[in-house]
């Protein structure tokens, strides 16, 4: 069994196919999984990448987060999700903005594969199906521009700065989408660290939160907007952290990942200590 204390999913993006497989092999003992996204889909394809990951030396296949966000009519998404689920990823995502019909079609497709096809395709674990809420590369102004946020006049709210009000508005939208995902039977959501605590409060602790937009303290944000450090994300309630360039572009990717794992372990220990302290007081 993979160490449950490992919470980092390393994004194998922004590199060649050979580099991605080599990176997975280098980091496999220290990760919760690896993420393959559109770069791999549009280049070598999902099946080839999954086959290569399955052939890495080690006691078990590295868990894969298939980050493809299929967005289409319900029937098309259903068929795509069945094909993807049969390849055996541990996590699959689908955009919440596709609406209830699409989300429920994705849920049914994954369930059907697990119930009817898992022995034929050698599946050993039912994949988590998670809903993508709002990309962490989008901020308040981006969401207002595309019409997902329309309220204005935050500066007029007494005692609340425009920045705080805007962050709250984005958080409310993310939580609303996470609740939609939960009502459609999904297992969790992809969301920023700043929304994680509110999502757990609304959806329960068993609803998994996968958080991208993770950056080390002092590092460049790149194309991310709603960012957090690994410790901040864990403290906020994130279950898994998706981290790409801060690890894969580091001079020593393994040492960087081990440092992040140490920060995650410390944050988890503080979290557990807080829970125990609360239990003693109550």
* Residues tagged active-site: 69
For residue 261, give the 3-state DSSP assignment: helix
Place of tokens 């697990």: 114
Distance CA 240, CA 228 (A): 13
- Distances, alpha carbon 36 to alpha carbons 55, 81, 278, in Å: 16, 15, 39
User: Is the torsion defined by CA of 234, 238, 240, 242 positive or negative?
Assistant: negative
Note every long-range contact of 45-50, with CB atoms under 8 Å and residues 24 or more positions apart, other chains counting.
Answer: 46/84, 46/87, 47/87, 48/17, 49/17, 49/20, 49/21, 50/87, 50/88, 50/89
Place of tokens 């360039």: 245
- Distances, alpha carbon 269 to alpha carbons 159, 231, 235, in Å: 35, 11, 10
Distance CA 202, CA 104 (A): 20
What is the maximum span of the chain, computed from C-alpha positions, in angstroms? Answer: 61
Angle, CA 13 vertex, CA 212 and CA 97 arms, to 5°: 50
Helix, strand, coil % over all residues of the chain, rounded to 5 = 50, 10, 40
């Amino acid at each position: 069994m993979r160490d449950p204390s490992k919470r980092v999913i390393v994004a194998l993006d922004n590199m060649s196919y050979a580099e991605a497989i080599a990176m997975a092999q280098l980091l496999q003992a220290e990760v919760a999984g690896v993420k393959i996204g559109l770069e791999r889909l549009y280049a070598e394809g999902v099946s080839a990448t999954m086959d290569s990951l399955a052939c890495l030396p080690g006691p078990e296949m590295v868990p894969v987060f298939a980050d493809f966000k299929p967005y289409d009519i319900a029937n098309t998404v259903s068929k795509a999700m069945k094909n993807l689920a049969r390849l055996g990823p541990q996590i699959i995502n689908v955009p919440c903005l596709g609406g209830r019909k699409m989300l429920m079609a994705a849920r049914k497709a994954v369930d059907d594969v697990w119930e009817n096809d898992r022995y034929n395709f050698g599946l050993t674990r039912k994949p988590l199906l998670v809903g993508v809420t709002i990309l962490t590369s989008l901020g308040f102004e981006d969401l207002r521009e595309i019409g997902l946020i329309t309220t204005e006049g935050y500066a007029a709210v007494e005692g609340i700065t425009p920045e705080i009000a805007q962050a709250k508005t984005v958080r409310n939208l993310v939580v609303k989408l996470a609740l939609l995902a939960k009502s459609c039977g999904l297992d969790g959501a992809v969301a920023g660290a700043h929304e994680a605590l509110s999502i757990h409060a609304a959806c329960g602790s068993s609803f998994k939160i996968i958080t991208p937009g993770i950056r080390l303290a002092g590092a460049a944000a790149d194309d991310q907007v709603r960012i957090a450090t690994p410790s901040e994300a864990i403290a906020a309630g994130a279950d898994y952290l998706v981290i790409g360039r801060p690890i894969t572009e580091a001079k020593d990717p393994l040492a960087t990942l081990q440092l992040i794992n140490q920060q995650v372990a410390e944050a988890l220990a503080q979290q557990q200590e807080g829970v125990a302290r609360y239990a003693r007081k109550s």
